[in-house]
Structure 1
């Protein structure tokens, strides 16, 4: 990723309060494969670095959760999780929208930082638990 990308994201508080933040994605200077993610919003600045943007997003989500906030984007949905290939080849910019009992397919891919008013963001732990249930479900 040569040029940094930016995504405006709505943040939702457990009390239903809302604020808007800006995610900025860029590559590491010393290692262009390193994914740097920064969030600027009324709550402050949050930063994370990982080998893919989905895992960096999870780090920032865990910081936000301590304050009662969650970003309203597909990467924060309970039923969204990237495959290892999505993480490796796509840097975690897309992930599968999973359904218990249904195998993942290309048509189930969503953009990690895309947003929609229908999204009900979940905690990182809820997302991981759902993914484990999906993995163990017969398909």
Structure 2
């Protein structure tokens, strides 16, 4: 419900499957994702039919095509271990819900795999956190988590969560961009924060 509240105040709502929604749409009616955000996305139901061609009015959001170069495949970041810090390199690759993230640093090289780049990053963090290392990126902040839409677009954006505040497009930040040491947390701490945020009215 908090995802719905990003776009509107209290309102009537219903839930259904994507296939049912597409079947119920009258001809000529499109779907708009994130209409109140800075990158609204209009999609035609024809995109889901075999051999469909994208209509002229279909403008993907900037993060939908990471291969376009808008999301670099390499990020030089800092890794933190207590009061120590060390350089590290993150690389991602993948598409179609199959992503890998590789991290080179004081721990050597580790690789994680997931259905989006955020999940692949979590798999990397699972391997280096037992040794005390935290990656200095937004995807490893205590107060960030990706929405379902962000994950469906590859996981390159996360939302910065503020207790008792609705999300807006201004809260979206890039998963692999630098984050300050004081904002970082373990995976468990990040999950607990997101659960607490979801539980607040």
Q: Which has the higher strand share?
A: 1
| 1:105 corresponding residue in structure 2 | 168
* Contact in 1 for aligned 2:98/2:115 (Cα 8 Å): yes
Structure 1 residue ranges without an equivalent (≥5): none
Structure 1 CA distance for aligned equivalents of residues 181 and 110 of structure 2: 25
Give the one of 80, 85, 98 matched to 1:18.
Answer: 85
Deviates most, 63-72 or 33-42: 33-42
Q: Give how far 1:118 is off.
A: 6.0
Cα displacement string for residues 21-57 of structure 1 (whole angstroms, at most 9, x for unaligned residues)? 11011116xxx54111101113200101111111111
Structure 2 residue ranges without an equivalent (≥5): 1-65
After TM superposition, list the pairs within 5 Å mapping 1:90-129 onto structure 2. Answer: 91-117=154-180, 119-129=182-192
Output the TM-score relative to the length of structure 2: 0.62
Aligned length: 133
Large movers: runs of 4+ above 4 Å: none
After TM superposition, list the pairs within 5 Å mapping 1:46-65 onto structure 2. Answer: 46-65=110-129
* Contact in 1 for aligned 2:136/2:181 (Cα 8 Å): no
Output the TM-score relative to the length of structure 1: 0.89
After TM superposition, list the pairs within 5 Å mapping 1:1-80 onto structure 2. Answer: 1-2=66-67, 5-14=73-82, 16-27=83-94, 32-80=96-144
Structure 1 CA distance for aligned equivalents of residues 114 and 126 of structure 2: 14
| Larger relative contact order (CA 8 Å, sep ≥ 6) | 1
